[in-house]
Amino acid sequence: MCLVEHLQNQTLYALKYTSKDKAIKDKAVQHIIQERRMLEEINHPFICLMKFSFQDEAIMFMVLDYMNGGDLRMHMKNHKWTEVIGVD
């Protein structure tokens, strides 16, 4: 994933890209297709919205809203999470 800037309006976006060869090798093609389809449908304030996607012969790209601060996987790995149940 990398940070990109729209040339005309200077808006920042996250560009997620996946090698088609690597996806085939990792048997992840269906997961990537499912991720794209889910992102096309989702509209939630806690999930980065996909603006559009495109592909060439070798790579599939998804342009997402840029949200500074890291992704959920990074936060889950670096922080201890506790669930509070029954707190009034």
> What pLDDT, on the 0 to 100 scale, is given for residue 21?
95
- Assigned domain for 6 exists: yes
- Assigned domain for 88 exists: no
The whole domain housing 70 covers 2-78
Whichever domain contains 46, its CATH number is 3.30.200.20
Residues 11, 69: Cα–Cα separation, whole Å? 17
Q: How many CB atoms lie within 10 A of CB 35?
A: 16
Per the CB < 8 A criterion, the answer to whether 4 and 12 are in contact is yes
3-state secondary structure of 56: coil
The count of structural domains within the chain is: 1
Which token pair is 74? 């990074």
- Assigned domain for 85 exists: no
> What pLDDT, on the 0 to 100 scale, is given for residue 76?
78
- Assigned domain for 11 exists: yes
- Assigned domain for 43 exists: yes
Binned average pLDDT, 10 residues per bin, the chain of 88 residues: 93 94 94 93 87 94 88 76 63
